[in-house]
Amino acid sequence: MTTLELACSFCSKPSTDVEKIVAGPGVYICNECVALATMVIESSTDTPSVPRVPIWESLTDDVMLSHIPRVSAHIDRSETELRSWVQELRRRGVTWIRIGESLGIARQSAWERFSSEE
């Protein structure tokens, strides 16, 4: 996948394989995943439960295992996107304290994780 090709952050389908894709801050969702999310929300009860992806029930272990590399690739893309956001904040002069606070980590942890990008 080229760096310009978008993919759904949930199902990993490239934008060329879906009807529409919507961008958010560092994430993308396709029309198919929106429809699935709507179905899950509409079918949920008032009692809290652990959400499960309905499609999992119909997938074999081998199919799920074959999907793991795509999930991992999404994590890599998300980490790259996060690093870009932190770089821009640092370029703007935002302190490591504020960046750490926004991530729920200490200033030192934020610095250790992202300072090599400067």
Which of 91, 28, 118, 94 is closest to 102 using CA atoms?
94
Domain residue extents for the chain: 1-56, 59-118
Instruction: Tell me how far apart the terminal alpha carbons of the chain are, to the nearest angstrom.
Output: 27
pLDDT at 73 > cutoff 50: yes
Bridge partners of residue 7, in order along the sequence? 14
Q: What is the pTM of this model?
A: 0.57
Mean of the pLDDT values across residues 45-61? 69
Q: What is the DSSP letter of 7?
A: B
pLDDT at 42 > cutoff 90: no
DSSP string, 41-68: HHH--SS------GGGGG--HHHHHHHH
